[in-house]
Amino acid sequence: METYEIVDFGTIHENSGFRKLTECSDGKSKVGQDGIQAIYQTGDKKVELLCYENRTQAYVHSSVGYSAYYPIHPVKKEETRAVLMDLDGTTVKSEEFWIWIIEKTVGSLLDNTRFSFTEADIPYVSGHSVTEHLKYCIDKYCPEQSLEKARELYFYHTELEMRNIMEGKGRKNAFVPTPGAKEFLLKLKEKQIKIGLVTSGLYEKAYPEILSAFQTWGMGEPTDFYDCIITAGTSLGRGRTGTLGELEAKPHPWLYAETANVGLGIPFEERSHVLGIEDSGAGVSSIRLAGYYTVGIGGGNIVKSGTMGMCNAYGETFDELLKFI
């Protein structure tokens, strides 16, 4: 099996999901110019690694025009003092529900209630921010529509369905706790390991999910259990305030960096004591770019999105993940 050594990143191989490029997708950097020796792109085309002789730089593509470059920091694992965990797909199985909401949104834009995604769409409508998902859908299915209109319809469907769920009339099993997650969380508490919950989801959609799981588990309020909870903020719209969460969401590193550094008080220099767990391609990229030991868990789109190479370790279940703690 052919392998490639990347400075400060590690080894990738032909099954990592990466593809080789001759130039960065922004058109500004090319192999053989300015000291660039190779460029690798994740399968979902969201992250590119620009390899120099003594450093590696990551380029994160944004479909809404705010791409960014980040330095790649070497990762090592020491005694675990904090675990950062994703919400959708990792702690709670809800991806199908949110994909369904986006599907209904596109159906409304097309005036077609029978619209449905293809299998090829799934990596692009899960794991990223709402804005990224909707921009992908507009570009592919209804380029004449505006992002503002799509967001308006998305939040209309979200508020309607969340209200129905709270009234017992909504989609059944919309939010189902991931098997083994409760026991895993309690084991971390037993070991006195700090726990941070990290999601690209906006607060109004994310918090009801984790609250539902904690009610199912009989564990009280999530805010009393977690040491820190970071969401992508609140939705921006006419007549209400919002945040920057839609532009800085996964695969950008900021949500994970804020959780560990600010929320849990672990400085960057001590990042080897932090471990992050994700089931999505955008998520593992976010953890890795933040400089933390990255653990993928099965059930998500890591393999399909071609981001296995972002993982330092991988397991199918929480029982398997305990060995990495």
Structure tokens at 211: 């609250």
Q: How far apart are CA 81 and CA 192, in angstroms?
A: 8
Q: Which of 146, 166, 164, 165 is nearest to 154 (CA)?
A: 146
pTM value is: 0.87
In the chain (325 residues long), the average pLDDT of successive 10-residue segments reads: 89 91 94 97 96 97 87 96 96 91 97 95 85 94 96 92 80 88 97 96 86 91 96 78 77 96 97 97 96 96 94 96 92
Burial of 111: CB neighbours in 10 Å, binned 0-12, 13-18, 19+: exposed
Backbone angles phi, psi at 70, to 5 degrees: -135, 145
User: CA neighbours within 13 Å on the CB side: how many for 153?
Assistant: 19
- Looking at residue 235, its pLDDT comes to 77
Give the domain ranges of the chain: 3-71, 82-93+177-324, 95-166
pLDDT, position 60: 96
* Rg value, the chain, Cα: 19
| Helix, strand, or coil (residue 242) | coil
Between 3.50.50.60, 3.40.50.1000, 3.30.70.20, 1.10.287.1260, what CATH number should domain 82-93+177-324 receive? 3.40.50.1000
Cβ pair 70, 253 in contact under 8 A: yes
